[in-house]
Structure 1
Amino acid sequence: MLIAGGCSIASDQAESTEETANEQTSEIKDAANQAAQKQVLNHVAAKTYVNNPQAPETRSLKEVGQTFTDEDGSVTLKAITDYSGTHSIGPVKLTIADIKVMNYSPSPDLIDYFHGYTHSEDNFSYIKLQVTIENTSEQLVDFAPVSVLETNEGEKKDFEDDFYLQNLYGQLQSGETKMGELAFVLEKTDLENLKSIAIHTSDVFDEKKTSLHEGEIVEISF
């Protein structure tokens, strides 16, 4: 009986050691996968970034309070989230990343451009995000990555409020991928109270405007 008990204890210890090793291996794999995904997103951002003529570039801004100035004006980073995620919406694969909230003072020659977006065109805040949209199907689809963007304070912006105008809405041919950024002026949201946003995508439609798949709501916290 004593020998059997000793074997049982040794067996339990071996199983415990194996479970611990498996847990550590799983944690290492998870960390590696997260790092790999971040590298891919960073690579995509670096490869596809196109300077937007409506606002200064923000890639160098990583910490709240940092400012960047160029010929388009001056931007200050007010909020940032490390969220990055890929969502399969029927045949569309949507990746959202690099979400930042900026305070912006446009250069004098750009102020008129913003008359249609805000009543405070000489200084305002906006939220920007990077998207990658891929049509994985064998047919043409019609899709809007942001049909409505809503802050936790109830301010809503639709796709017509996007002032970056990088042609990220509409039709995608079979296998086509679009990449770029969207930006929306925030006028009714107190940035001190900004905790989250909800991105409502459109449905995925075919060329006859028949819905192929219902849109999704992506919740993102700051």
Structure 2
Amino acid sequence: MKLKQKFFKQNGGLLLQQQSSLHEGNVEKDKLFNSKEFGRATDNFNENRILGQGDQGTVYRGMLIDRRIVAIKKFPLLVCEFIPNGMLYQYLHDPNEEIPVPWDVQLLIATEVAGALSYLHSAVSIPIYHRDIKTTNIILDAKYRAKIADFGTSRSVALSQTHVTTLVQGNFRYLDPEYFQPSQFTDKSNVYSFGGVLVELLTGQKPILH
């Protein structure tokens, strides 16, 4: 049970609970699924359903009983909206894509990510530090609206806290040097990583390690 609670917390469970309490009057509510429902939705985690794999688990394409298409992350099990346009990284660096990202789409993506970070830092009752903002953790829906993904390294913090002291994690290309030295992560560390994403978004160039 403690292990399940740990995974629930690390993968955005606290944010899910907060959103549920804020939207209790909505017709459609967030739902918690069991392992049998996951199995049915993914044809028992059939390899043909795999969308991608990463350090925090494998993601499968699934269909719920109401025929909604979703993405299901295994280990831990987590259901989220299916995102047809994939990762921002793929969108920026697809070798088969000759047309640059239009300015209005760049602006939309930047605004959406900035708004999401502001929400995580300031709008929720328990602030959340994502700790791994990068273009592979920003995904785009059918209308190219950006969403922050993969909360595997995230941490919730008390309102009185100014930082989290932890082992350094994240992609070094986007890592805040002030976090790297004392191992103290703040909301500004997320903003630094977002700055790296902005440069990559506007220039089309991958971050360079020095």
Task: Pick the TM interval, shorter chain.
Answer: under 0.3
| Structure with greater strand share of residues | 1
TM-score (ref. length: structure 2)? 0.26
TM-score by length of 1: 0.25
Larger radius of gyration: 1
Q: Answer 1 or 2: which has greater helix percent.
A: 2
